[in-house]
A and B are shown apart, each in its own frame.
Chain A
Amino acid sequence: MIRVNIVDLKPGMVLAQAVQNQQGVLLLDAGAKISKKNIRIFKSWGVNEFTVEGELNKLKAAGETPAAEIRAAVKMALKAKFSDVMDDPVMVEIFNAASKQLTKDLPKSEHEKENSRPKKNYR
């Protein structure tokens, strides 16, 4: 049994304990397999902590798929969109923020994790 936060909750996980909203209304019973829809409902009710079946290291291993290719493709499309406006420093900020948002759900490889500290532009 492991405690997970809403951000780490993934479809397919199995609830070890029932989930209730703040008013104590039952949203999903223990033993249920979590769907995408369930996660949305939990979010809309503001439920943040869950207890699911499984072991911690297995869970981590599951999220290890490298997604560098998708990330690169997303960034390239975004660069093309911004190509005419990058001389504006504010637009550069918007570009960076968008690029971060659009790739945040992609799992990171170990190599990328080490280099993920925000890069500053000192120019």
Chain B
Amino acid sequence: MKKRIPDPKRIIDRIDDLPTLPRTVLKITELVNDPKSSAKDLARVITDDQILTARLLKLVNSSFYGIPQRISTVTGAIVLIGFDAIRNLLLTTSVFDLFADRNRKNQQKQEKFWDHSLGCAVGAKVIGNYLRHDSIEELFVAGLLHDIGKIVEMMFQPAEFSKIVAVISRENILMIAAENKIMGYNHAEIGKLLAEKWNLPAKLVQIIAHHHQPKVAGSFAMEAAIVHLADIFCRALNMGFGGDNKIPPLDRFAWQSLKIQTSAIESLMKTMQDEYGDIRLFIS
């Protein structure tokens, strides 16, 4: 039997209809980061994009905020919920959209994957807050995207994906182990290639690539360790489905470098669960 040499790069190249991240979202991120920008500046960028405008107004007028009167202007919405919340919200919903609804058959599975990603994102944010990390928003996005490679597998490599699913249910192993067994590479590598293709910041690329071995993430080892721990927390709390029914082992290096007291674990996980319940309302 001839064994083919696995090459995730070639697979990514073959997929030329991989979704792209909307430019508006990148522009909004920039504006929110700039202390000199005003609600008006931000409103101008958002109103340029009809879909984002509609989504924002829908969300602000949704039951999550429970405001009795209708908010009909983007500026009004920004003033009401704040800059960071706007960015968080638009980025989150945009990323979710990218892969949404392309394959009905996988829809339920896909939603569970996203719930897992969202749980990890919330976890990364909560851990980041606890550690007084200076870019919480970025950690949130990193958590959201950490398993993006799994979505790519599911949507663009259906044959391999179903083999992986079969191995997981037969042997009850971690998805990453099943991927390595079937394909010779895994979702972290695929995710890295996609992130590079999207021109995401180096930090995000490194976190996605190394959330299973944070040590290798170089100068972003700290951030990768945060996402690594958040991944474990959200699996422990049954948030969504990460593709298997196992908890990945805690990386020694990651745990030691984070310097989190074991006594803090419980309150971190509690905060995580509370915030997860709140944010899920945005998306569903």
Is B66 touching A45 in the complex (CB atoms < 8 A)?
yes
Please tell me if the beta carbons of B250 and A85 are within 8 angstroms of each other in the complex: yes
Is B265 a contact of A93 with CB atoms below 8 Å?
Answer: yes
Q: Contacts A41-B63, A100-B266, A101-B270 known; A88 to B249 CB distance under 8 Å?
A: yes
Are the CB atoms of B250 and A91 closer together than 8 Å?
Answer: yes
Q: Assess the A88–B66 pair: CB atoms within 8 A.
A: no
Q: Which of B10-18, B125-133, B229-237 contacts A (4 or more CB under 8 A)?
A: B229-237
Contact B236 A80 (CB under 8 A): no
**Cβ of B58 to closest chain A Cβ, rounded Å:** 16
The residue of chain B having its C-beta at the shortest distance from the C-beta of A42 within the complex is B66
Interface status of A37 (Cβ within 8 A of chain B): yes
The range of chain B's interface size is: 20 to 34
A interface, size bucket: 20 to 34
Chain B 93-108 per-residue mask, 1 if CB under 8 angstroms from chain A, else 0 = 0000000000000000
Cβ 8 A contact of B64, one of A21, A41, A96: A41
Q: A40-B281, A41-B66, A98-B236 are in contact. Are A91 and B247 (CB under 8 A)?
A: yes
Give chain A residues whose Cβ lies under 8 Å from the Cβ of B278: 40, 43-44
Closest Cβ of chain A to B88, distance in Å, is 15
The answer to whether A80 and B245 have CB atoms under 8 Å apart is yes
Q: Which residue of A lies closest to B274 (CB)?
A: A43
Residues of A within 8 A of B255 (CB): 90
State whether the Cβ of A25 lies closer than 8 Å to any Cβ in chain B: yes
When A88-B249, A100-B266 are in contact, do A44 and B233 touch as well, CB less than 8 Å?
no
Residues in A with CB closer than 8 Å to B265 are: 90, 93-94, 97
Interface centre among A27, A88, A89, A98 (most CB of B within 10 A): A98
A96 partner residues in chain B, CB cutoff 8 A:
266
Query: Which residues between 205 and 260 of chain B lie within 8 Å of chain A, taking CB atoms?
Result: 232-233, 235-238, 245-250, 255
Q: B interface vs A, CB < 8 Å? A: 63-68, 232-233, 235-238, 245-250, 255, 262, 265-266, 269-270, 273, 278, 281
Interface residues of A (CB under 8 A from B): 21, 25-27, 37, 40-41, 43-45, 78, 80-82, 84-85, 88-91, 93-98, 100-102
